[in-house]
Structure 1
Amino acid sequence: MTTTAATANRPTRMDRGVNAAVRWLADRGIGLAGAQTLTVRGRRTGVPHRVPVNPLALDGRTYLVAPRGVTDWVRNVRVDPRAQVRRGRRVREVRLVELADDPRKVQVLAAYLAKWGWEVGRLLPGALTVDADAETLRRHSALLPVFEIQAVTGAD
């Protein structure tokens, strides 16, 4: 049985303050633990929204995990997969492709939690923990959206 999540764990006032500081630093090229800024368009307003993210490089590809679950940025990307990833002055136009039922998803989640579990462990939805085994991650994988970051070329 697969667990699904309709909403994300809501950020606290402190979380919002920390996110703003991390985003500010990433925008200036100082990525705490590899943090970068993701910019996506609002699904209803079209207004750009910026959030700090931790891209994960694995097997020659790069991924984003939403450790809170289905957040607003996830909902926005599901409507329009075009985005920007920024660290300092380096801004990349990208397309985010969700790994819904992809067999790589559990591997990506395990690697992400191994690398950033210390930072995101308290944000995880449901019964997930940073030391969850592969079977637990598979059963609850719908709680954590995962996207592959793909470069946008001139032909896209």
Structure 2
Amino acid sequence: MTVRYDEPNRVARATNALFRWLAEAGVSVAGTHALRVRGRTTGKLRVVVINLMTVDGHDFVVSPRGNTQWARNARAAGEVEMGPRWRRRTVRITEIGDDAKPELLRRYLDRWFWEVKGHVGGLTPDSSDEQIRAVAPSIPIFELR
């Protein structure tokens, strides 16, 4: 995996905090959901807001900013909690190999590019297959089981 992390600025952190609060309250905005994962070193439950993508009956989460803390924590833990505070469920999480990422990234970009533009390694919905394959190793994608 190529290591890339686009750290959010102050405005992005504030916006994410608002959407995280809404997701934890059970309000989904354009497919957002609360994802909780245990910290690798602290063991504390960390909450982030993610876009849940369903493809052929399988649920996926993408870390468009790259190898973020939540992606590293999820990789190490092998499981996450999904959903609002009162209906959260624990699910196993498996990282997708680089060969399977281009199709999933294309679908993700088609749906959420307006939200993540500038944070997906320079990709756009019009990126060529070669461009997507080149950037795919730097974007963790996980399947929820």
* TM-score of the aligned structures, taking structure 1 as reference length: 0.87
The answer (yes or no) to whether the contact 2:4–2:138 under 8 Å persists in 1 is no
What is the aligned-residue RMSD (CA, Å)?
Answer: 1.4
Aligned partner of 1:5 among 2, 7, 17: 2
Cα distance in 2, alignment partners of residues 47 and 123 from structure 1: 27
User: Which amino acid in structure 1 is aligned with residue 137 of structure 2?
Assistant: A
Q: Contact 1:30 / 1:88 at 8 angstroms: preserved in 2?
A: no
Residue 9 (structure 2) pairs with residue 31 (structure 1) = no
Aligned partners of 1:130, 1:107: CA distance in 2, in Å? 12
CA separation in 2, counterparts of 1:130 and 1:16? 25
Structure 1 counterpart of 2:89:
92
Aligned residues between the structures: 145
1:149 partnered with 2:122: no
Separation of aligned partners in 2, 1:69 and 1:8: 5
CA displacement at 1:88 relative to structure 2: 5.9
Q: Does 1:139 pair with 2:131?
A: no
**Paired residue type of 1:108:** L
Residues 28-63 of structure 1: CA deviation (Å, up to 9, x unaligned): 111110100110010111111100000100011010
**Aligned counterparts, 1:3-82, within 5 A:** 5-82=2-79
Task: Find the aligned partners of 1:77 and 1:62 in 2 and give their Cα distance.
Answer: 15
SS at the partner of 1:89?
A: helix
Distance 1:21 1:39 in 2: 16
User: TM-score when scaled to structure 2?
Assistant: 0.93
**What residue in structure 1 maps to residue 113 of structure 2?**
117
Query: Percent identity at matched positions?
Result: 37
Q: Matches of 2:91 and 2:136 in 1, distance apart?
A: 24
2:63 and 2:106 mapped to 1: Cα distance?
Answer: 13
Match of 1:11, SS? coil
Q: 1:138 Cα deviation (Å)?
A: 1.3
Structure 1 distance, partners of 2:73, 2:108, is 22
